[in-house]
């Protein structure tokens, strides 16, 4: 018998893209902050999000990484829960989140390039 198990996730593809782009954001943030701290950038670069900046100053880079991945998880869970009741809204939330975070990643790349 060839039975496929039905996934318990509603939006696997959208969720995968969102997590990938979120992980790229975490990596770019780490890279920018590290290069800046080591004096490898022409300007001092800081975290732009005031909440994330507070987390960074309070708990260090490890806390920042945990914070960012927690935010990714929160959005993913909200999208899945909303998606059970309003599938287009849940899917749209993940697509919009991927687009917004994708712009942040591109901006981070340009910022790093300009300051190396």
Q: Let me know if residue 41 belongs to a domain.
A: no
Per-residue model confidence as pLDDT tens digits over 15-25: 999 999 999 99
* Residue 112: exposure state from Cβ atoms within 10 A (0-12, 13-18, ≥19): middle
- CA separation (Å) from 56 to 26, 30, 51, 115? 12, 11, 9, 21
pLDDT band (50, 70, 90) for residue 6: low
Mean pLDDT of 4-33: 90
pTM: 0.88
Structural domain span for residue 96: 12-34+46-115
Q: Let me know if residue 39 belongs to a domain.
A: no
In the numeric block, which tokens belong to residue 87?
Answer: 């599938």
Per-residue model confidence as pLDDT tens digits over 35-94: 999 999 999 999 999 999 999 999 999 999 999 999 999 999 999 999 999 999 999 999
Q: Let me know if residue 108 belongs to a domain.
A: yes
Q: Let me know if residue 1 belongs to a domain.
A: no
Q: Let me know if residue 5 belongs to a domain.
A: no
Q: How many domains does the chain have?
A: 1
Q: Let me know if residue 60 belongs to a domain.
A: yes
pLDDT band (50, 70, 90) for residue 3: low
What pLDDT shows up at residue 112? 95
E-assigned strand segments in the chain: none
């Amino acid at each position: 018998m060839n039975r496929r198990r039905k996934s318990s996730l509603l939006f696997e593809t959208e969720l995968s893209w969102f997590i990938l782009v979120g992980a790229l954001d975490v990596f770019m943030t780490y890279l920018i902050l590290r290069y800046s701290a080591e004096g490898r950038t022409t300007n001092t670069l800081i975290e732009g999000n005031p909440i994330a900046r507070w987390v960074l100053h309070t708990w260090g880079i490890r806390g920042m990484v945990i914070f960012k991945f927690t935010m990714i998880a929160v959005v993913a869970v909200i999208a899945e829960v909303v998606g059970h009741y309003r599938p287009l809204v849940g899917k749209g939330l993940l697509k919009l989140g991927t687009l917004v975070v994708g712009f942040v990643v591109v901006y981070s790349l340009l910022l790093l390039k300009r300051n190396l």
